[in-house]
Amino acid sequence: MNTPLRVQRTLAKFGVVDEQLDQQIQSASGTSVELQSVYVDVEYIGEIGIGTPPQLFSVDFDTGSSDIWVPAKACRASSCGRHRRFNPEESSSAGNNNHTTWALQYGDGSVVKGYTAIETITLGNVSQPNQRFGLVTAQTAELAQDRYLDGIFGLAFPPLAYTGIRSSIVQDLHQAGHITSPIVSFYLGQAKDGGKGEVIFGDFNRNHFEGDLKYVPVTLQKYWQVELNSMNIDNGPNILNSTAFPAIVDTGTTLIIVPPHMSQAIHQAIPGAEYEPMHGWRIPCDFAEPQSSNGQMTDSVLNIRLGEQEFPLLLKDLVRARAVFPFKGPKMMCYSGVAEAQTPMIILGDTFLRKYYSVFDFGHARIGFAKAKP
């Protein structure tokens, strides 16, 4: 819920109406939802409403999937843990639900199963009726045990969906006139700075980025897939084995995930970085400081070229949270924001998106990036 709407709701408690504030809210070109970093920048959670009156759920706004789902009332505690559940009996806007079954397995192996329903979904100060979404009756343990996450809010293209949607809710909001543009934009804050972020439907927030947005065309309208043409360190040799690589821009993934030869090339440029099969790559925590403990500056750059645009990323920005086994000799070790896997694609997750404000444009099938402000 954005700030003007919070003020409006507070005044309403006391029977006060601010007509100027009401007009400001109604004339807004978009609607925003506050995000919060949890588990030290592993995922970003925001609140939505489903039904009338809205039943509130904490969700991950995920550009790497297309389905919206939350737990159903019938989901047992053994499957859905202590998560909030949607009860259609408490909603006056419940649609004619035929309980069509669906199931989805995510790339990390987690699975959800349930049935589809039709309801009003509320985002900030707008409500969109007749939206198809999933009600989950069973889910795997890694989802059930996430104490912050009730469900997923998919924002990829409809061909990726399993619940039978024909258009994204972003497109539906635009078609209904609730937002002026069919776009959704993200600012992801860092836990060390309070972890506050923001997702906006229909607009973007210039207060969160520097300069102009650089747009990259989507090459496949399923995921938000773009072409990664080169990757190098300090303008050195291209570490891709081919001239181009498909890259998926995914707000629902914590890391940058690349094939092993790329990951090894990146970490070879970081003094003291080491790989362990059980925990992946680790980096000395002091590498994130403006100056390393041996007096050398740590301003080396990983240059990522998407389409025809360059997006540099400081290697020190790859340092994440403290590792499970924190010491290597006298040095404190942290996890790396880059992981390796035998994959035919590169995934640009939150490690990249924390440094670049992102605008996902359904109308022009493109993604805009600009350097995020701290």
Nearest residue to 350 via CA among 264, 238, 257, 265: 257
Residue 62 falls in the annotated catalytic set: yes
* Annotated active-site residue in 41, 250, 350, 361: 250
Is residue 336's pLDDT more than 70? yes
Q: What pLDDT does 40 receive?
A: 87
- Kindly report, residue by residue over 224-264, the tens digit of the pLDDT: 999 999 999 999 999 998 788 999 999 999 999 999 999 99
Is residue 372's pLDDT more than 50? yes
Identify the bridge partners of residue 101 per DSSP, sorted by sequence position.
115
Ranges 44-53, 173-182, 317-326: which has the least confidence = 317-326
How many angstroms separate the CA atoms of 191 and 201, rounded?
23
Answer yes or no: are the C-beta atoms of 369 and 311 closer than 8 Å: yes
The dihedral of CA 210, 216, 222, 227: what is its sign?
A: negative
DSSP string, 50-105: ETTTTEEEEEEEETT---EEEEBTT--HHHHTT---B-GGG-TT-------EEEEE
- Kindly report, residue by residue over 107-147, the tens digit of the pLDDT: 888 999 999 999 999 999 999 999 999 999 999 998 999 99
Is residue 26's pLDDT more than 50? no
Q: Scan for tokens 């404190």, then name that residue.
A: 332
Q: How far is CA 255 from CA 188, 252, 312, 363, in A?
A: 13, 9, 16, 27
Q: What pLDDT does 25 receive?
A: 46
Residue 250 falls in the annotated catalytic set: yes
* Annotated active-site residue in 62, 150, 350, 361: 62
Answer yes or no: are the C-beta atoms of 90 and 106 closer than 8 Å: no
**Could you say which DSSP state residue 125 is in?**
T
**Could you say which DSSP state residue 373 is in?**
P
- Categorize the per-residue pLDDT at 23 as very low, low, confident or very high, splitting at 50, 70 and 90: very low
**98 vs 209 pLDDT, higher one:** 209
Residue 120 three-state SS: strand
Q: What pLDDT does 340 receive?
A: 94
Q: What pLDDT does 55 receive?
A: 97
- Kindly report, residue by residue over 36-75, the tens digit of the pLDDT: 999 989 999 999 999 999 999 999 999 999 999 999 999 9
Q: What pLDDT does 94 receive?
A: 84
All domains of the chain, ordered by start, with CATH?
Answer: 3-206 (2.40.70.10), 209-371 (2.40.70.10)
- Categorize the per-residue pLDDT at 27 as very low, low, confident or very high, splitting at 50, 70 and 90: very low
Query: Average pLDDT over the chain, rounded to whole?
Result: 90
Q: What pLDDT does 325 receive?
A: 79
